[in-house]
Each structure stands twice: as C-alpha cells, then as structure tokens.
Structure 1
Amino acid sequence: MASQSQGIQQLLQAEKRAAEKVAEARKRKNRRLKQAKEEAQAEIEQYRMQREKEFKTKEAAALGSHGNSAVEVDKETVGKMGSIQTSYQRNREGVLGNLLKMVCDIKPEIHANYRFAG
C-alpha cells in the first residue's frame, strides 16, 4: 500500500510539473506575442511617419507651384487694372461729350415702328 501511495504521489508530482511547464509555456508564448505586437506597432509607426514625410514634401512642392501661380495672376491683374485706368482717363472726356451731345441734341422724329391709326 505504501508503494501505491508513493506511486500516486509521484503521479501527482509529475502532473503538477507538467501543469507548471504548460503554464510557463503559455507565459513565454504570451511574452512573444506581446513583443511581436510591440515590434509591429513600431514598424507601423515608422512606416506611417515615412509616408507622412513624403506627403508633406509633395504637398509643399504642389503648394509652392500654386503660390507662384497666385503671384503671377496678381501681377497680371495689377497690369490689366493699370491699362484699364489709363484707357479710362484717356477716353473719359470724349465719351462724356458724346453722351451729353446725344442727350441734349433733340431731333423729333417718328419712330420706325409707329403705325398711323386710321
């Protein structure tokens, strides 16, 4: 009987060691998974930062060319406004004279579309 109880004790100890080994294996597996997750997050963050840097570079290049276009349009607008002002100053007196002449010189005429009733 003593040998049976000793055998049972050995089996229980063996099961306990096996359970401890399984628990330790799970812990190692969880540590490896956690480490892999952290490494993946770091890699993702690095890739995201690289792509963001590339985007900023392209955005700056696009906005830079857009800024040059805006400057050119502003210069062209100022030039056209100047030519319009010059033309206005040059032709103002003549146009006003013609307008006053047409308004003040009254020539009574019958309109071309007028029909005599009768």
Structure 2
Amino acid sequence: MASQSQGIQQLLQAEKRAAEKVSDARKRKTRRLRQAKEEAQGEIEQYRTEREREFAQKQHTVLGSQGGLSSEVELQTQQKIQSMTKSYRSNREGVLRHLLAITCHISPQIHCNYHCRA
C-alpha cells in the first residue's frame, strides 16, 4: 500500500510539473504573441510613415509643377498685355485721325430711293 501511495504521490507531482510546464508554455506563447503584435505594429507604422513621405513628395512635385504652370501663364498674360498696350499706343493716333476724317468729311447726296414727285 505504501508503494501505491508513493506511486500516486509521484503521479501527482508529475502531473503538477506537467501543469506548470503547460502554464509556462502558455505564458511564453502569450508573451511571444504580444511581442509579435508590437513588432508588427512597429513595421506597419514604419511602412505608413514611408508611404506618407512618398505621397507628400509626389504631391509636392505635382503641386510644384502646377505652381510653375501658374507662373508661366501669368508671365504669358503679362507679355500679351504689354504687347496689346504697345499696339494700342502705336495705332491710337492713326485710328483717331481716320475716324475724325470720316466724321468731318461730309458729302451730301440724295439717297437712291428718294423719288422726287413733282
């Protein structure tokens, strides 16, 4: 009976050690999962930061080129305004003389549809 009791004690101790090992394994597994999750979050954050940086760089490139187009259009507009102003100044006197000549030179004529009834 004593040997049976001793065998049962050994089995209980073995079962207790096995339960401790399983508990330790579960704790290690939980710890490793938590660590893996933190590593994944770090990688995700790093990837997100990299993509945001690339996006900002591309956006700056596109908007920068739009700004260049805007300044180019502004320059062309100023050139056209200067050209029209120069053309206006050079042709103003001639046009005014021509208009005055047309309005001041009157040649009275009877209209072709006028019939004199006598």
1:19-30 pair list within 5 angstroms = 19-30=26-37
**Deviation at 1:90?**
0.8
Number of residue equivalences: 107
**Deviation at 1:96?**
0.8
1:37-116 pair list within 5 angstroms = 37-98=44-105, 100-101=106-107, 105-107=108-110, 109-110=112-113
Tell me the TM-score normalised to structure 2 length: 0.75
Aligned with 1:9 (options 10, 16, 28): 16
Letter in 1 for 2:48: Q
Structure 1: which 5+ runs fail to align?
112-118
Aligned Cα root-mean-square deviation (Å)? 2.1
Residue 68 and residue 110 in structure 1: after superposition, are their counterparts in 2 closer, same or farther (change >3 A)? Answer: closer
Distance 1:33 1:6 in 2: 40
Residue 19 and residue 36 in structure 1: after superposition, are their counterparts in 2 closer, same or farther (change >3 A)? Answer: same
User: Percent identity at matched positions?
Assistant: 7
Tell me the TM-score normalised to structure 1 length: 0.75
Distance 1:41 1:97 in 2: 80
Distance 1:90 1:48 in 2: 63
**Deviation at 1:108?**
5.7
